[in-house]
Amino acid sequence: MNKLYKMKKILLLTLLLSTSVSFSQIMVLFELETHDKDNMEKVAENYFSAVQAVTGDNIGMTMHHKGWSSKTVYFIIWYNDMKDMAEKMGRQEEMESEIFEKLSSTPLDPEMINTFNAISNPKQSSVWEYVPELSMMEDYMNLPKEERDSFRYRRFQYVNVAMNAGPAYEARSIKAKTMDKEIGVKIHLAVFRNIFGTTDANYLNILIDKNRLDYMKNFSDRMTKRRASEDWGKNPNPWDLSLYNVTKMEEVVKNLDFKIQTN
């Protein structure tokens, strides 16, 4: 898991040099490519279980697949804030030798490690701040955990904004959220503002659903309600392509088999 570890090390050093601005909940997104997602799953579980056992920190990591035919894998780690992230990543730096000693006590098949090193390719790491005022996650978070786990499908929507257009985009998003609530539109939407690590997006919108078919049906239902709304019909909240645009859309599926051991 050295490749992912190096990505984290670079990320930590960069962020420790950044300003001491206060942020809310933080999501770190690691993007890698592999020809064998099962191999990456096993190696990652082994490595981060050792990290968790040695540091005593709850890693809070999840694994996601970008589509069924894609080679891309996402690992997501949550932190309470930037301070929490720096402290936990700092502990991993300080306890590196103990972590690798723990790994050596329960070694994986050497051929599995060789395969991982040969076929795994780190692509990008990025840090995102959760923006609750733009999100619509209340209904989702009120569901029992077992039911939340059934929502495996994610639609990633990366949005780029023009220079100094962030406030205009956020004002538009808040207005759209208010209109949706007024007409009874239901959606599980988490919105993130980029802090570090990407050059083509300032915001990441993640829409959550059970599967692709449910997402498409619910999207159609939402648009039917919106078009039937008098306010929506007057188009008081237009999408201004001169200020913001969607740079890419991705289908992502959560891997529920990925588990970090607690001991």
User: What is the spatial distance between Cα 216 and Cα 59, in angstroms, rounded to a whole number?
Assistant: 33
Q: What is the CATH number of the domain that holds 11?
A: 3.30.70.100
pLDDT at res. 128: 94
Q: Are residues 122 and 148 in the same domain?
A: no
Token digits for 240?
């201004």
pTM of the model: 0.85
Q: Are residues 240 and 122 in the same domain?
A: no
Residue environment code for 35-61, b if the CB has 16+ CB neighbours within 10 A, otherwise e: ebbebbbbbbbbbbbbbbbbbebebeb
Split into its structural domains, the chain has a count of 2
Contact indicator for 196, 14 with CB cutoff of 8 Å: yes
Task: Confirm whether 41 is domain-assigned.
Answer: yes
Structural domain harbouring 166: 130-250
Enumerate the β-bridge partners of residue 204: 158, 192
Q: Are residues 145 and 236 in the same domain?
A: yes
pLDDT along the chain (263 residues), means of 10: 51 43 74 89 88 87 84 90 87 88 81 80 88 94 91 94 92 91 92 86 95 95 88 70 87 89 69
- CA separation, residue 208 to residues 119, 225, 246, 252, 257 (Å): 30, 19, 18, 10, 18
pLDDT at res. 173: 93
pLDDT at res. 66: 87
pLDDT at res. 10: 46
pLDDT at res. 105: 82
Residue that terminates a domain, selected from 128, 154, 169: 128
Give CA angle at 22 (21, 25), nearest 5°.
130
Round the average pLDDT of the chain to a whole number and report it: 84
Q: Are residues 178 and 109 in the same domain?
A: no
pLDDT at res. 92: 86
Q: Are residues 100 and 142 in the same domain?
A: no
Task: Confirm whether 50 is domain-assigned.
Answer: yes
Task: Confirm whether 256 is domain-assigned.
Answer: no
